[in-house]
């Protein structure tokens, strides 16, 4: 069994078998255990779903959710340090590549320095930001950090903290990001092709990309900290605004997480309605993906075609939920209101309407020689890199990684419908593009099966206005439009969550930009960004 194997490796580890297995180790044993969890064949935890920095009051630490793509088991790996002045933990960024940006995030929010991490800069906040906002004793006085009127200085160097094995002293070493004579082009934060306010610093050799340095935080809204001062029903509203193109799906994840913690039984009708809404949302998102990718590559007419059809999806959603983009429809225990009488009829019409349009899309764009040449064989991502970086969703499936949460851990009504998980093996931009186009048809197929079978019953179960979750930690994830969206929730039995962390599907996507653009042309950066389809507020949260 899993527990016995872990006891073998680390006999002193504290193991909690309640819910998902939780293993707590001292920092000294953390790296060794992490390495063996990844490397040992019958464990092979190769996918780090999410890393959460925590302030437990008396100690600071991280809690990582690991999964094995081979055996499909999950585990929480937890470590902590009681030193609040100079908290230090060993890095695992060389074991799981996704930990690189995640550890920078933890450093940014909690001030934990990771020893031997190659790039210990802040990820979201400015370099001159005072304090660590996710610490419980953070002083949010606006006079300490006023709205700045000057941009921060862009640094070409970063630091690594190393430990001397002899005396245990920690020393800072400078790491050069860009040399003095390198040709560095700045793209963003205000650039129409970065899909929001993302900033790349690109080092060029002629028109060949040598290195891409991603700068995030231009839309970091501090949602996780805000959630800590909101009651559970209030936190729901903020999830819609993370990845606004997956509003339903995000909210679905948080609702499911809270419902699971409460032990709430959800009526079948609600599961069907939520699944239908999730798929409609996926349709609207993928249609927008197609429109924007084509526009980025210069095909402006495609933008109008895509938006024309997307409006139809929005109409269907609007009738039931009252919102176009942000619907605020899911609530704890159900949905806000029952479905509109027209919904079934409209969906049936739409399911017939869209496939000929998709064919038209393929005729006007996919077959186009320019599109083919700019997408095929460009920005190739390998399957093992996708897993290591945690790039799930259509991006992961385009390189053959079967990572669809709907298939692997079905939620809602996904266990009752028959659908294919779209898998391609090339891993290039074109595969990413085709996965999404085929997923549109698959979503229609799911809708088709669901609309006629919505069971009768309540659309919500009654809940108390003040919800208190039992003590413990919970994790729930859904397949959002761009990948696995997860919610990690830690409760201390209050009406407010102690810590909420959103596992954003877009942060891993942006972390692979450097990997897959390296050696390519600068112009391909735009097409690669378009096919990765990240949403910047979801990266920054």
357 binds another protein (CB under 8 A): no
186 makes contact with another protein (CB under 8 A): no
- Interface positions, 198-217, toward another protein (CB under 8 A): 217
SS3 track for 476-513: EEEEECCEEEEEEEEECCCCCCCEEEEECCHHHHHHCH
Per CB under 8 A, the segment of 13-21, 273-281, 299-307, 377-385 that binds another protein is 299-307
Residue closer to another protein (CB basis): 230 or 344: 230
Closest to another protein by CB, 150 vs 167, is 150
Q: Which is nearer to another protein, 152 or 458 (CB)?
A: 152
Whether residue 530 contacts residue 297, with contact meaning beta carbons closer than 8 Å, is answered with yes
Segment contacting another protein by CB under 8 A, of 76-84, 174-182, 235-243, 390-398: 235-243
Question: Among 92, 125, 343, 375, which residue interacts with another protein (rule: CB under 8 A)?
Answer: 125
**Residue 153 engages another protein in binding (rule: CB under 8 A):** no
Does 192 participate in binding another protein (rule CB under 8 A)? yes
Nearer to another protein among residue 240 and residue 479 (C-beta): 240
User: Of the candidates 61, 87, 111, 133, which one interacts with another protein according to CB under 8 A?
Assistant: 133
Residue of the chain from 19, 27, 222, 520 that contacts another protein (CB under 8 A):
222
Among 3, 140, 176, 523, binds another protein (CB under 8 A): 140
Element (H, E) at 208: strand 208-215
Looking only at the bridges linking them, the beta strands covering 88-90 and 113-115 are parallel
Sheet containing strand 483-491, strands side by side: 472-480, 483-491, 499-503
**What Rg do the C-alpha atoms of the chain give, in angstroms?**
23
Q: By CB under 8 A, tell whether 128 contacts another protein.
A: no
Is the dihedral angle over the CA atoms 250, 286, 479, 317 positive or is it negative? positive
User: How far apart (Å, rounded) are the C-alpha atoms in residues 72 and 85?
Assistant: 38
Q: In angstroms, how far apart are the furthest CA atoms of the chain?
A: 73
Question: Left if phi > 0, otherwise alpha if psi is -120 to 50, otherwise beta: which for 253?
Answer: alpha
User: According to CB under 8 A, which one of 36, 73, 191, 495 is a site residue for another protein?
Assistant: 191
Is the bond into 189 cis (omega within 30 degrees of 0)?
Answer: yes
Among 61, 87, 189, 334, binds another protein (CB under 8 A): 189
- Rounded CA separation 182/465 (Å): 58
Q: Cβ 290 to another protein, closest distance in Å?
A: 13
Report the residue number, 151 or 164, with the smaller CB distance to another protein: 151
| Alpha helix ranges (H) inside 362-412 | 369-375, 383-389, 393-397, 405-408
Structure-token pair, residue 455: 């069971």
Stretch that binds another protein, among 30-38, 125-133, 160-168, 331-339 (CB under 8 A): 125-133
Label each residue of 79-124 as H, E or C: EEECCCCCCEEECCCCCCCCHHHHHHHHHHHHCCEEECCCCCCCCC
Among 10, 238, 332, 391, which residue sits at the site for another protein (rule: CB under 8 A)?
Answer: 238
Contact call for residue 420 and another protein (CB under 8 A): no
Footprint on this chain of another protein (rule: CB under 8 A): 124-126, 133, 138, 140, 145, 147-152, 189-192, 196-197, 217-223, 225-226, 229, 237-238, 241, 244-245, 288, 291, 303-304, 307-308, 310-311, 324-326, 536-537
């Amino acid at each position: 069994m899993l527990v016995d194997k872990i006891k073998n490796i680390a006999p002193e580890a504290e193991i909690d078998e309640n819910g998902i297995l939780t293993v707590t180790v001292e920092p000294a044993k953390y790296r060794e255990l992490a390495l063996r969890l990844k490397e040992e064949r019958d464990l092979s935890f190769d996918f780090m779903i999410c890393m959460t920095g925590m302030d437990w009051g008396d100690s600071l630490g991280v809690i990582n959710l690991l999964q094995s793509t081979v055996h499909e088991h999950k585990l929480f790996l937890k470590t902590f340090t009681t030193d609040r002045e100079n908290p230090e933990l060993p890095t695992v960024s060389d074991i799981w590549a996704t930990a690189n940006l995640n550890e920078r995030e933890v450093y940014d929010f909690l001030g934990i320095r990771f020893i031997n991490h190659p790039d210990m800069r802040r990820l979201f906040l400015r370099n001159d930001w005072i304090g660590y906002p996710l610490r419980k004793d953070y002083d949010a006085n606006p006079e300490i950090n006023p709205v700045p009127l000057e941009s921060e200085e862009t640094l070409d160097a970063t630091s690594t903290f190393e430990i001397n094995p002899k005396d245990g002293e920690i020393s800072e070493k400078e790491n050069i990001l860009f040399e003095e004579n390198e040709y560095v082009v700045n793209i963003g934060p205000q650039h129409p092709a970065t899909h929001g306010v993302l900033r790349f610093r690109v080092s060029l050799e002629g028109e060949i990309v040598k290195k891409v340095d991603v700068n995030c935080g231009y839309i970091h809204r501090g949602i996780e900290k805000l959630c800590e001062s909101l009651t559970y029903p209030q936190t729901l509203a903020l999830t819609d605004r993370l990845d606004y193109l997956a509003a339903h799906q995000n909210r679905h994840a948080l609702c499911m997480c809270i419902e699971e913690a409460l032990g709430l039984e959800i009526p079948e009708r609600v599961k069907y309605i939520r699944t239908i809404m999730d798929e409609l949302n996926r349709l609207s998102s993928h249609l927008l993906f197609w429109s924007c990718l084509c526009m980025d590559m210069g095909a402006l007419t495609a933008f109008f075609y895509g938006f024309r059809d997307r409006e139809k999806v929005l109409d269907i959603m609007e009738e039931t939920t009252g919102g176009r983009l942000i619907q605020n429809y899911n609530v704890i225990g159900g949905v806000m209101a029952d479905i509109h009488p027209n919904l079934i009829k409209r969906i049936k019409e739409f399911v017939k309407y869209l496939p000929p349009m998709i064919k038209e899309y393929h005729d006007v764009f996919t077959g186009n020689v320019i599109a083919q040449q700019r997408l095929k064989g460009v920005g190739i991502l390998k399957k093992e890199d996708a897993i290591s970086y945690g790039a799930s969703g259509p991006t992961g499936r385009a390189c053959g990684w079967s990572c669809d949460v709907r298939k692997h851990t079905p939620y809602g009504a996904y266990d009752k419908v028959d659908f294919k998980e779209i898998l391609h093996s090339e891993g290039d931009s074109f595969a990413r593009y085709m996965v999404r186009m085929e997923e549109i048809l698959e979503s229609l197929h799911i809708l088709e099966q669901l609309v006629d079978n919505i069971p009768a019953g309540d659309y919500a179960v009654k809940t108390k206005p003040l919800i208190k979750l039992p003590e413990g930690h919970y994790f729930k994830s859904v397949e959002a439009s761009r990948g696995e969206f997860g919610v990690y929730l830690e409760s201390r039995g209050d009406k407010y969550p102690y810590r909420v962390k959103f596992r954003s599907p877009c942060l891993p996507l942006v972390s692979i930009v450097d990997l897959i653009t390296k050696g390519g042309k600068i112009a391909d950066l735009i097409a690669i960004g378009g096919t990765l389809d990240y949403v910047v507020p979801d990266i920054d949260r």
